[in-house]
Structure 1
Amino acid sequence: MKSVKVKAPYWEIAANLYFPENFDENQKYPAIISGHPIGSCKEQTSGNVYGEALAKAGFVVIAFDASFQGESGGEPSSTENPTLRVEDFRLVTDYLVTQNFVDENRIGVLGICGGGGYALNVAMTEKRIKAVGTIDAVNFGRLSREAFSGWNPLEKLELIAQQRTAEARGEAKRVDDLLPNSVSEAQAAGLTDIDVLEATDYYKSERGQKPNGVAKTLFSQSAVSIGWDAFHLAEVLLTQPLMLITGDKVGGFGSYRDSLEIYGRARSEKKELLVVEGWSHYDLYDKPEPVQKALAKLIPFYQENL
Structure 2
Amino acid sequence: MSETIKTVSIPNIAWKTSADIHLPPNFDDKKKYPAVVSAHPIGSCKEQTSGNVYGKAMAEAGFVVVAFDASFQGASGGKPRFIENPEFRVSDFRFVVDYIQTLPYVDPERIGVLGICGGGAYAINATMTDYRFKCCVGITPANFGRLTREAFSGFDPAGSLEKMAAQRTLEAQGGDRFVMNYLPPTVEDAKKMTSDPDIVEATDYYKTGRGQAPCGATSALFSFNSAALTWDAFNHAEILMTRPLLAVVGSVPGSFGSFRDAHEIHARAGSKEKRLFELPGVTHYKLYDDPKAVKAALDEVLPFLKKHLGEIR
TM-score grouping bracket, smaller chain normalisation: over 0.9
4+ residue runs over 2 A deviation: none
| Matched-pair identity in % | 53
Picking from 59, 81, 88, the partner of 1:77 is 81
Q: Deviations over 1:95-147 (max 9, x none)?
A: 11110000000000001000011111111120000000010001110000000
Distance 1:245 1:21 in 2: 26
Alignment of 1:108-127 (within 5 A): 108-127=112-131
Q: Does 1:21 align with 2:25?
A: yes
Deviation for aligned residue 1:9: 1.8
Deviation for aligned residue 1:262: 0.3
Distance 2:216 2:280 in 1: 28
| Secondary structure in 2 matching 1:222 | helix
The one-letter code of the counterpart of 1:260 is H
Deviation for aligned residue 1:252: 0.5
RMSD (Å) for aligned C-alpha atoms: 0.5
Deviation for aligned residue 1:187: 2.1
| Secondary structure in 1 matching 2:256 | coil
Distance 1:125 1:217 in 2: 25
Picking from 208, 221, 244, the partner of 2:211 is 208
Deviation for aligned residue 1:265: 0.2
Q: Does 1:180 align with 2:213?
A: no
Instruction: Give the corresponding residue for 1:37.
Output: 41
Q: Deviations over 1:34-62 (max 9, x none)?
A: 00000100001000000000000000000
The one-letter code of the counterpart of 1:179 is L
| Secondary structure in 2 matching 1:86 | helix
Instruction: Give the corresponding residue for 1:94.
Output: 98
Distance 2:229 2:7 in 1: 33
- Mark the runs of 5 or more structure 1 residues left unpaired by the alignment: none
TM-score by length of 2: 0.97
TM-score by length of 1: 0.99
Distance 2:124 2:198 in 1: 22
Q: Does 1:159 align with 2:154?
A: no
Q: Does 1:301 align with 2:299?
A: no
Q: Deviations over 1:147-200 (max 9, x none)?
A: 000000000000000000000000000000100011101223x32211000000
Picking from 249, 261, 264, the partner of 2:264 is 261
Aligned length: 305
Distance 2:227 2:99 in 1: 26
